[in-house]
Amino acid sequence: MSQRLSPENILSSFNKLALVIYVEKTYNAEINDFVRSNYSQIVDSFNAKNIDFYYLPYLLQNKDYQAVVNYNRTYLQHSTDDNYITKIYRKI
């Protein structure tokens, strides 16, 4: 893998065959610990199949997440407070 995986580096061009965003109905510490501990391997596995993988807590830490929110939720505009968007995603 050529680039270090960290919140500021996880956005791609969204040009792969598919996209997986991991979210959960309720917080599960064991699963989240697993995803965090194995994030690089999970991303590599999906990349090998031309699929992007995103872990929502990392995605929300990315400096460009606002653009992702605007793309997926067009009714939220740039004037929307970042804290408000964070609260929305925490409810999802």
> pTM for this structure?
0.60
Whether 50 has a pLDDT exceeding 80, the answer reads: yes
pLDDT, tens digit (0-9, with 9 covering 90-100), for 35-48 = 999 999 999 999 99
| Backbone conformation region of residue 61, classed left if phi is above 0, alpha if psi is from -120 to 50, else beta | alpha
Secondary structure (DSSP) of 2-52: -S--SGGG----S-SSEEEEE--SS--HHHHHHHHHTHHHHHHHHHHTTEE
